[in-house]
Amino acid sequence: MSKTVEANFDGLVGPTHNYAGLSVGNIASTNNQSAPSNPKKAALQGLTKMKSLHDMGLVQGVLAPQERPDVHSLRALGFTGSDADVLSKAAEEVPFVLASCASASSMWTANAATVSPSADTADNKVHFTPANLCSKFHRSIEHETTGRILKGVFGSEDHFSHHPALLSTAHFGDEGAANHTRFCHQYGEQGVEFFVYGQHAFDSSKPKPEKFPARQTFEASQAIARRHGLSESKTVFAQQNPNVIDQGVFHNDVIAVGNRNVLFCHEQAFLNQAEVYTNLKQAYGKDDFCIIEVPESKIRVETAVKSYLFNSQLLSNPDGSMTIVVPSDCLSDQQVEKYLDKLVAADNPINEVKVFDLRQSMNNGGGPACLRLRVALNQAELAATNSSCLIDDQLFTTLNQWVEKHYRDRLIEADLADPQLLIESRTALDELTQILKLGSIYQFQI
Ligand code: SUG
């Protein structure tokens, strides 16, 4: 068996990054509505994290942002005339719709797709299903371009199988890898795929949140497992605790993270948590499965949502130990900081903490784990991946220069209707597709 690695593909923050308060149920998004943003800083913060992971010897990729403002969606909603006319009429009549069409939300690539590595699938190909993200309008317009970007990176039909997004209806609401974790002994061995959903669409007797929306349905998770050809005995479904959704845990990756044999989660993450653990251990099948459960008495759900402790990345080091990547917000809370000290000193695989300032993304509810899509790749699959999208020193320098050249350092809502912003954004993206050798992936290029 050739060595299989876990590659992280981070979303490059787009030139229109702004705070529009678009995500009800995501407390940071709501709280920062109308604050000025700094797209340049946001993109550079993201690139710094990518470079650090590359420097750790990990495979780090980058996924391109989307064309925003999305005038094509505005035209589909009845706005006509030149691009400038469309923007100004939308700003006047439906400013919230314009803000939705201008969001840089594709940066959170944990929501780009669900990925099943070839060791888990019936045809031994890596399967991708872009998330329909249909519970939020601003995110529901991402999946077609996401699909094109993924095909631009993972183009080989011999190794990669690309599905379209699930039907865009609430019954099949799908938020991608943010609600999906894979456990395995080694990345190249068949793993356990763990799907976490917020509610059942067709069974009203099942519990669901009352205050905030559940964005993922059981039926969507089940359809993806079916499409990807996963083995039943190696697939576990679990429902998120509806009470924590109502406290701002809008995706499971806000309250739990897994890597290889480790599940790190809050004690209130799942409904029937003990049963979930039993199912995972049984499907995993070996006795080194390690659950690190954090009780409410140590870290309250509210604190977890604020600090994003669980929206961390667990990275495997060559010696089998793990590094936890957390946002600097974890150090602003003494309890969380103390907990992290104890976590790395305790007898478990996690023995190092790495901290990143991701404030620009965090203000919209996006921590380190939201910014990355994990793709386990064997050596043949890695060789078939578009290498121009893999971070090395040269690409890091090129992308930093590209950001410095094209991005603004301040954006407020009124700027979203500025036709110049659209021109700047398209100019930047056109150049980016050449840097990343993606071909024509944007509607303005097709
Ligand atoms: O979908 N925020 C994103 C954050 C996504 C975080 N991803 C994960 N947890 N994996 C969302 O709620 C806010 C945009 C705004 O309000 O301007 C936003 O879309």
Atom 10 of ligand 1, nearest CA residue: 370
Kindly give the distance from the C-alpha atom of residue 413 to the centroid of ligand 1, in angstroms, as a whole number.
17
- The pair phi, psi for residue 401, each rounded to 5°, is -65, -40
The response to whether residue 253 sits with its C-beta less than 6 Å from ligand 1 reads yes
The response to whether residue 17 sits with its C-beta less than 6 Å from ligand 1 reads no
Looking from the CA of residue 251, the nearest atom of ligand 1 is 9
Three-state secondary structure of 156-194 = CCCCEEECCCCCCCHHHCCCHHHHEEEECCCCCCCCEEE
pLDDT for 446: 86
The response to whether residue 209 sits with its C-beta less than 6 Å from ligand 1 reads no
In a domain, 77, yes or no: no
C-alpha to C-alpha distance for 426 and 404, rounded to whole angstroms: 15
The reported pTM is 0.98
pLDDT for 318: 84
In a domain, 97, yes or no: no
The response to whether residue 360 sits with its C-beta less than 6 Å from ligand 1 reads no
Atom 19 of ligand 1, nearest CA residue: 105
Q: Are 347 and 89 in contact (CB under 8 A)?
A: no
- Strands, E, within 192-261: which ranges? 192-197, 235-239, 256-259
Kindly give the distance from the C-alpha atom of residue 108 to the centroid of ligand 1, in angstroms, as a whole number.
7
Amino acid identity of residue 338, one-letter, is: K
Write the CATH number for 18. Answer: 3.75.10.20
Kindly give the distance from the C-alpha atom of residue 113 to the centroid of ligand 1, in angstroms, as a whole number.
15
In a domain, 430, yes or no: yes
Residue that has been written with the tokens 């097709």 in this structure: 446
The response to whether residue 365 sits with its C-beta less than 6 Å from ligand 1 reads yes
Tokens of 417: 């209707």
In a domain, 95, yes or no: no
Average pLDDT by stretches of 10, the chain with 446 residues: 89 98 97 97 98 97 98 98 98 98 98 98 98 98 98 98 98 98 98 98 97 98 98 98 98 98 98 98 97 98 98 94 98 97 98 98 98 98 98 98 98 98 98 98 94
In a domain, 299, yes or no: yes
Q: How many domains does the chain have?
A: 1
In a domain, 93, yes or no: no
The response to whether residue 112 sits with its C-beta less than 6 Å from ligand 1 reads no
Our measurement of the distance from residue 71's CA atom to the centroid of its chain's CA atoms, rounded to an integer in Å, reads 24
Domain extent, residue 118, equals 4-68+103-445
The response to whether residue 366 sits with its C-beta less than 6 Å from ligand 1 reads yes
Kindly give the distance from the C-alpha atom of residue 381 to the centroid of ligand 1, in angstroms, as a whole number.
30
Looking from the CA of residue 175, the nearest atom of ligand 1 is 10
C-alpha to C-alpha distance for 155 and 150, rounded to whole angstroms: 8
Cβ-in-10-Å burial (0-12, 13-18, 19+) of 80 comes to exposed
In a domain, 172, yes or no: yes
Q: Which residues are catalytically annotated?
A: 175, 251, 370
Kindly give the distance from the C-alpha atom of residue 19 to the centroid of ligand 1, in angstroms, as a whole number.
10
In a domain, 124, yes or no: yes
The response to whether residue 22 sits with its C-beta less than 6 Å from ligand 1 reads yes
Looking from the CA of residue 176, the nearest atom of ligand 1 is 10
Kindly give the distance from the C-alpha atom of residue 125 to the centroid of ligand 1, in angstroms, as a whole number.
30
